[in-house]
Amino acid sequence: MSMFNVFNIAGSGMSAESVRLNLTASNLANADSAASSTGQTYRARYPVFAAMANSLAPQASAEGVRVLGVVQSQAPLRSEYAPNNPLADKNGYIHLPNVNVVEQMADMISASQSYQSNVDVINTSKALLLKTLTLGQ
């Protein structure tokens, strides 16, 4: 593996974690959004990651990560009895998203730390390459 592949691998990790952070922010922003029916209710979204294989050597180890897509949580939605709410259905219930705020906060911290780890890998690799260039002086 070339030393320059480190930048591609860490960059792909940063890109994937950026998607994860954006989805977590969207989930948190919609955590308390009420709807009048289950079909209109926001559902938590999560990214699906996959390792990228080297196209020149498929049997070699993975060379980064990519986002395959985004899936919606299949957890049950929350219903709350609020007959005075203008969004209440005929039975007096409003429907709330299946977003667990504590889980989302933990996921945001994890994604943020993973992003920072990839930044640290890039900075360390850059410093090593620059130090290598000065060896001949």
pLDDT one-digit tens code per residue, 67-98: 999 999 999 999 999 999 998 888 999 999 99
pTM, two decimal places: 0.85
Q: What percent of the chain lies above the pLDDT cut of 90?
A: 68
Question: 102: domain range?
Answer: 5-133
- The band of 18, judged by pLDDT with boundaries at 50, 70 and 90, is very high
- Overall average pLDDT of the 48-54 stretch: 86
Domain count, the chain: 1
Summary mean pLDDT of the chain: 90
Tokens of 93: 């219930």
Show the beta-strand stretches assigned E in 14-107.
45-51, 65-72, 78-81, 93-96
Nearest 5°: the CA angle 87, 93, 98 is: 90
Helix (H, G, I), strand (E, B) or coil at 74: coil
| Residue tagged 């955590």 (tokens) | 31
